[in-house]
Every structure is written in structure tokens, then in C-alpha cells.
């Protein structure tokens, strides 16, 4: 079943979304990279880890996930009894695309003494092949709990993995995936921007390449960057992540100035995630109206993927001992 397009002319979409949300006992979860109009309608806004926890804890009957497909699948893995819908089923992710499950499986089999620490930006099948999932906000806490002599495969984001390797002095084997959005920032343009705003700190997401991260005063997840914006010195921040996060910064800190780091053409619009941008207010309305398109996951695959997500949630809370991890 898919949401059927219809003539929406004259419809008050916000009012209709509110009416349907109540009627369906639905909760709308939105990632920080969604458009401001969707963020402003959401019940909860957050990063991947925060939204996973919200999905697992909600008592709503329907989860409308305004993000990308792997995020909605994560919600379904953690809350299988809920109806989980995504406004546009084509909202994918370049990191997921870069890591086909059969290739990942072969890579794991070629390294039987390694555990797989895997970024949440991957398919359900890859989660099922992994030992522990991490998000950008939980990766450091989780890696710090893994013994130094434990060999690790880290995928699919080579920049996040490389950042963790440098920070923790590890030698994780890195899967060669990248986020096309964070890959697009330009070091030359960033340096020009820094020169125009002397003293303004730079906050960067660890999905950025080292050429950007090396100029950052703060490196962290979207929620980490938001927190940094509240405590940073000065009142101007250069932000090297998807620019829609700036909406929440401007709402929370209207007296401060936030500038999106530029791409190679000097125009930060090229850093808008094309997958996240597929979700629109119209599609959000249709998905609530039709309860489609829905996320469905075969049960044995779901249970297999849930193990690595459960491990993430336990380890992010610091409740797992070092002996609990080992190569498969
Ligand atoms: S911003 Fe990058 S990592 Fe996030 S969904 Fe878009 S392509 Fe994937």
C-alpha cells in the first residue's frame, strides 16, 4: 500500500496533520536535517540515537518517521508492534548504499577475529550482520568500552571511523563509505569563511573529511553541536553539518549567529541532504492519511538486527562490561 497523490489545493495541511495525528494516535519524529516546516510540526526532534529511544518508548500506535529509511527501519526494529510510516520510501542514504549486505558479509567472513562496530546509517541486513551499532553521539562512549586489543571492522562511514581511530589510537579496519553531504564541504571555502569571521569557532560533524574536521573547534553529533552552540565562546558559530540543524539553533539562541560551512562552489545549499529533502509537508499529510508507505521487516531479520541495536543502547548507557564483547 502506498500513499495516493491527491489534489491538496485549499487544504490546511498543518491543521489536517494535527487532526490526523490525534485521530491515529500517532507520534511524529523528525531528524534535525528535516526542513523547518516539518521540524516545527514534529512531536520530537532529535538525532538518530534520541529518535531510536523515543520510538522504543512511545505509547503511540503509529510512528511517522520524518527522516530517512534506515531510521524508520530502526524504529520498526525497536517497536515492532507499531505501525511505522515514512513520508517518502525513496529517502535513502549514501552510506547505506555504499554497504551492500552481501559484500559486508564477505568482508566479515574474511576477518573472523574482528568484531563489527557499525554506524547506524546502514541497512537492517547490515545491522543483522553487526555486533554493535553506534551513532555519532554514542560512538566514543561505546568504543571506549571495547578492549584495546580487540580487532574491529568499522563501517560504513570511513570518515567517522578514521576520526575515531585518530582520537582513540585504534586501527579499526574501515569500510570505504562516505556521506555525500558531509563530503561536499570545501576546505578552501571554509578557510575563506574563517578569515571573514575571525574568532568564530567551527563545529563539525565527524562524517566530514579530515580536511574539515582538522579546522574544527568542536567535533560531534548533531545534538552535540547544538549543545556546543549554547556554551561556545562568542556569538558566531560556523556549522559544518547539514544546514537544517541551524533552525533549532536559531530558535534556541536567537541572539547568536550561525553560518553554514560552504561547499566547493561557496554555496552551502549543496550540503542539503537530498534524501532528507524528499519528505515534504504534503507527503507527511498523505502518509498520515493513508498510513502508507509502511516499514515491514521479516521477523527473524528484525530479531537479528535488534541484537546489535540493543547492545548499542546498553553500551551507550555504559551498562555493558568489557567481557560482553567478542568476535563472532
Ligand atoms: S546527511 Fe548523509 S548520512 Fe545523513 S541521511 Fe543524508 S546522505 Fe545519509
- Give the closest residue (by CA) to ligand 1 atom 3: 179
DSSP string, 90-101: T---HHHHT--H
Residue (of 274, 193, 202, 275) closest to 239 by Cα position: 202
pLDDT at residue 1, as a whole number: 47
Tell me whether residue 44 is in a domain.
yes
pLDDT at 135 > cutoff 60: yes
C-alpha 223 to ligand 1 mean position (Å): 15
Mean pLDDT of the chain, nearest integer: 93
Q: Which atom of ligand 1 is nearest to the CA of 33?
A: 1
119 close to ligand 1 (CB < 6 Angstrom) = no
Q: From CA 74, how far away is CA 118, in angstroms rounded?
A: 13
* Domain total of the chain: 3
- Give the closest residue (by CA) to ligand 1 atom 5: 93
Q: From CA 46, how far away is CA 27, in angstroms rounded?
A: 13
Tell me whether residue 250 is in a domain.
yes
Q: What is the number of residues in the chain?
A: 328
Q: Are 23 and 68 contained in the same domain?
A: yes
Largest pairwise CA distance in the chain: 63
Tell me whether residue 267 is in a domain.
no
Q: Which residue has the cell 552481501?
A: 102
Q: From CA 207, how far away is CA 216, in angstroms rounded?
A: 13
222 close to ligand 1 (CB < 6 Angstrom) = no
**Domain span including residue 140:** 95-179+303-322
Tell me whether residue 99 is in a domain.
yes
Q: Which residue has the cell 580487532?
A: 151
pLDDT at residue 49, as a whole number: 78
C-alpha 324 to ligand 1 mean position (Å): 31
Q: Would you give the distance in Å from CA 297 to the centre of its chain? A: 20
Taken in order 28, 32, 38, 39, the sign of the CA dihedral is positive
Residue (of 126, 118, 106) closest to 160 by Cα position: 118
Q: pLDDT per residue over 193-246, tens digit each?
A: 999 999 999 999 999 999 999 999 999 999 999 999 999 989 999 999 999 999
Q: Are 290 and 312 contained in the same domain?
A: no
Tell me whether residue 173 is in a domain.
yes
pLDDT at 326 > cutoff 60: no
Q: Are 99 and 85 contained in the same domain?
A: no
C-alpha 268 to ligand 1 mean position (Å): 15
Q: Are 167 and 196 contained in the same domain?
A: no
pLDDT at residue 4, as a whole number: 53
C-alpha 12 to ligand 1 mean position (Å): 30
| Element at 6 (helix H, strand E) | none
Please tell me whether 279 is known to bind a ligand.
no
What is the best residue among 121, 137, 139, 263 to mutate for testing ligand 1's pocket, by most ligand atoms within 8 Å of CB? 121
Q: Would you give the distance in Å from CA 24 to the centre of its chain? A: 26
Tell me whether residue 237 is in a domain.
yes
- Give the closest residue (by CA) to ligand 1 atom 2: 179
Q: Are 82 and 104 contained in the same domain?
A: no
Q: Are 112 and 250 contained in the same domain?
A: no
Tell me whether residue 317 is in a domain.
yes
Q: Are 21 and 55 contained in the same domain?
A: yes
DSSP string, 56-106: HH---SEEEEES-HHHHHHHHHH-TTSEEE-S-TT---HHHHT--HHHHHH
DSSP H helices, the chain, are 13-23, 36-41, 48-57, 69-78, 94-97, 101-110, 124-128, 139-143, 158-168, 187-196, 210-213, 222-231, 246-252, 281-290, 299-316
Report the pLDDT averaged over residues 98-121. 98
Domain harbouring 206, CATH code:
3.40.50.10800
Reported as a pLDDT band with limits 50, 70 and 90, residue 267 is low
Q: Are 64 and 99 contained in the same domain?
A: no
Q: Are 286 and 315 contained in the same domain?
A: no
Q: Are 250 and 312 contained in the same domain?
A: no
C-alpha 96 to ligand 1 mean position (Å): 9
Q: Are 113 and 60 contained in the same domain?
A: no
Tell me whether residue 271 is in a domain.
no
Residue (of 111, 238, 234) closest to 187 by Cα position: 238
Q: 0.85 exceeded by the pTM?
A: yes
Q: Are 194 and 56 contained in the same domain?
A: no
255 burial type by CB count under 10 A (0-12 exposed, 13-18 middle, 19+ buried): exposed
276 close to ligand 1 (CB < 6 Angstrom) = yes
DSSP string, 22-39: HHTTEEEEEETTS-HHHH
Please tell me whether 270 is known to bind a ligand.
no
Amino acid at each position: 500500500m502506498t500513499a495516493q497523490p491527491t489534489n491538496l489545493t485549499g487544504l490546511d495541511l498543518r491543521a489536517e496533520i494535527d487532526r490526523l495525528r490525534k485521530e491515529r494516535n500517532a507520534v511524529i519524529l523528525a531528524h534535525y536535517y528535516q526542513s523547518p516546516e516539518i521540524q516545527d510540526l514534529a512531536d520530537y526532534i532529535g538525532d538518530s540515537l534520541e529518535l531510536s529511544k523515543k520510538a522504543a518508548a512511545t505509547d503511540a500506535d503509529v510512528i511517522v518517521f520524518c527522516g530517512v529509511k534506515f531510521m524508520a527501519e530502526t524504529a520498526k526494529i525497536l517497536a515492532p508492534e507499531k505501525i511505522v510510516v515514512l513520508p517518502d520510501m525513496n529517502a535513502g542514504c549514501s552510506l547505506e548504499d555504499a554497504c551492500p549486505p552481501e559484500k559486508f558479509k564477505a568482508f566479515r567472513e574474511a576477518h573472523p577475529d574482528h568484531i563489527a562496530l557499525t554506524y547506524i546509517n546502514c541497512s537492517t541486513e547490515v545491522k543483522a550482520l553487526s555486533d554493535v551499532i553506534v551513532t555519532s553521539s554514542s560512538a566514543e562512549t561505546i568504543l571506549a568500552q571495547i578492549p584495546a586489543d580487540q580487532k574491529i571492522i568499522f563501517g560504513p562511514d570511513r570518515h567517522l571511523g578514521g576520526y575515531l581511530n585518530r582520537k582513540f589510537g585504534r586501527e579499526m579496519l574501515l569500510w570505504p563509505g562516505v556521506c555525500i553531504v558531509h563530503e561536499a564541504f570545501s576546505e578552501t571555502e571554509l578557510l575563506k569563511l574563517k578569515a571573514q569571521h575571525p574568532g568564530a569557532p567551527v563545529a563539525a560533524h565527524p562524517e566530514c573529511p579530515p580536511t574539515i574536521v582538522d579546522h574544527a573547534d568542536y567535533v560531534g553529533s548533531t545534538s552535540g553541536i547544538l549543545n556546543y552552540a549554547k556554551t561556545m565562546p562568542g556569538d558566531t558559530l560556523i556549522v559544518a553539518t547539514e544546514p537544517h540543524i541551524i533552525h533549532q539553533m536559531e530558535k534556541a539562541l536567537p541572539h547568536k549567529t550561525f553560518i553554514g560551512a560552504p561547499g566547493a562552489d561557496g554555496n552551502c545549499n549543496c550540503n542539503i541532504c537530498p534524501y532528507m529533502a524528499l519528505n515534504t509537508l504534503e507527503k507527511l499529510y498523505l502518509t498520515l492519511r493513508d498510513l502508507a508507505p509502511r516499514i515491514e521487516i521479516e521477523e527473524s531479520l528484525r530479531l537479528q538486527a535488534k541484537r546489535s541495536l540493543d547492545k548499542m543502547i546498553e553500551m551507550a548507557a555504559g551498562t555493558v562490561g568489557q567481557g560482553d564483547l567478542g568476535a563472532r
